[in-house]
């Protein structure tokens, strides 16, 4: 066994040329085993995808300017909702790979026991598909692809240009 097989977190932190993504850091520091993204249910992927998307949007909102927390919340909520997500996914649909479309459809078709307030069933299901896709990409260590898709959609919607 060579030295690369026994790297520890502190070793990796001393190697600036070796990037380590967020999920890998979590797995390393909390000893998370996890599963392959295909093994998770569509609603589980949507659950984590919603959190990832929310974090991206919150980061972009606070980067715009410092403002009152209530203003930050209102701006974020206007973007992180089923209607906006349904619009975003419509914009990026032609950019998705076949695998990504499959994941999106799996999420869209999942039967959720809950329903978002202020959303149509149609928009809610599309948003769930989008969140499942983002969750899948995150759990597959493809954060760059998730951010690329989010960026493309947001720019075409006129956000953060």
Q: What are the residue numbers of the active site?
A: 50
CA distance 131 to 137: 10
CA distance 146 to 152: 10
Q: How many residues comprise the chain?
A: 161
Would you give the DSSP letter of residue 10?
H
CA distance 146 to 87: 16
Q: 104: burial class by Cβ within 10 Å (0-12, 13-18, 19+)? A: buried
Start-to-end CA span in the chain (Å): 49
CA distance 51 to 29: 20
């Amino acid at each position: 066994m060579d030295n690369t097989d026994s790297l520890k977190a502190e070793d990796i932190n001393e190697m600036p040329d070796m990037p380590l993504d967020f999920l890998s850091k979590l797995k390393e520091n909390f000893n998370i085993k996890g599963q392959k993204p295909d093994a998770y249910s569509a609603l589980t992927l949507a659950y984590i995808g919603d959190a990832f998307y929310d974090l991206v949007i919150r980061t972009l909102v606070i980067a715009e300017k410092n403002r009152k927390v209530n203003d930050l919340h209102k701006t974020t909520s206007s973007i992180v909702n089923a209607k906006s997500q349904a619009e975003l996914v419509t914009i990026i649909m032609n950019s998705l790979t076949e695998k990504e479309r499959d994941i999106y459809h799996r999420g869209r078709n999942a039967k959720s026991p809950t329903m978002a307030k202020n959303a149509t069933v149609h928009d809610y299901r599309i948003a769930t598909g989008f969140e499942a896709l983002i969750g899948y990409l995150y759990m597959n260590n493809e954060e760059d692809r998730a951010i690329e898709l989010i960026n493309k959609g947001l720019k075409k919607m006129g956000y953060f240009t």
